[in-house]
Amino acid sequence: MRIDIISVLPELMESAFNTSILKRAIDKGLAEVHFHHLRNYGLGKHRQVDDEPYGGGAGMVMLVEPLDNCISELKSQRTYDEVIYLTPDGETLNQKMANTLSLKNNFIFLCGHYKGIDQRVRELHITKEISIGDYVLTGGELAACVLADALIRLLPGVLNDEQSALTDSFQDDLLSPPIYTRPSTYKGLQVPEILLSGNSKKIEEWLHEEALKITKEKRPDILK
């Protein structure tokens, strides 16, 4: 998987890909992440990338020309499965979407900033718009890190235990059941006996029942 990220603050994201599972995926050659500083495509000697909105109003708007030039240059080098704009008014990211996107190979992530991007960029290039929640960040950089993490961890070979991703919350429209490890008793709190029984079938049934119960309590909206 290759992800090209366009941003006015690429340095904000670098550490996210230099540690833990994302770094391991990149080191193994399972994923590539490339940053593209929009200022390199800015206009004039000051490398301008934003201007005041037509019609007035607060804030600044990211210019169409630098974004169009950057995306067009990337597209001239390879075919992209999706050009994704991280924006609060996009479709809300969920596990089903992450599963589907993880099967694709090449992406451009466009990080919004200021009040957003000129609408014509959306019309010319954007194929999918994604939000990570109903709130506003100062820019799309952190959202891009979240989306990249959600996709890359699903790639075969990234996690040490590939079955782990299949048992995560939301994979079966359920939240995860309670989990325990040693010791079996701590400060009077006991691990449920069923988990110590060795009866795989009974354990699986118990885990499913607990997941269903927790989902009903916390997130009834995701139950089919």
Model-level pTM greater than 0.85? yes
Given CATH 1.10.3720.10, say whether it is the number of domain 169-222: no
- Neighbouring CB atoms inside 10 A of 10's CB total 18
Could you give the residue range(s) of every CATH 3.40.1280.10 domain in the chain? 2-152
Could you give the residue range(s) of every CATH 1.10.1270.20 domain in the chain? 169-222
Class of domain 2-152: alpha beta
Kindly give the confidence (pLDDT) of every residue in the chain, 224 residues in length, as a single tens digit, with 9 standing for 90 and above. Answer: 999 999 999 999 999 999 999 999 999 999 999 999 999 999 999 999 999 999 999 999 999 999 999 999 999 999 999 999 999 999 999 999 999 999 999 999 999 999 999 999 999 999 999 999 999 999 999 999 999 999 999 999 999 765 566 566 667 789 999 999 999 999 999 999 999 999 999 999 999 999 999 999 999 998 87
Contact of 13 with 35, CB cutoff 8 Å: yes
Structure tokens given for 92: 């809300």
CA 155 to each of CA 3, 93, 101, 149: distance values in angstroms, whole numbers, following the listed order: 13, 18, 11, 10
Single-letter residue type at 38? L
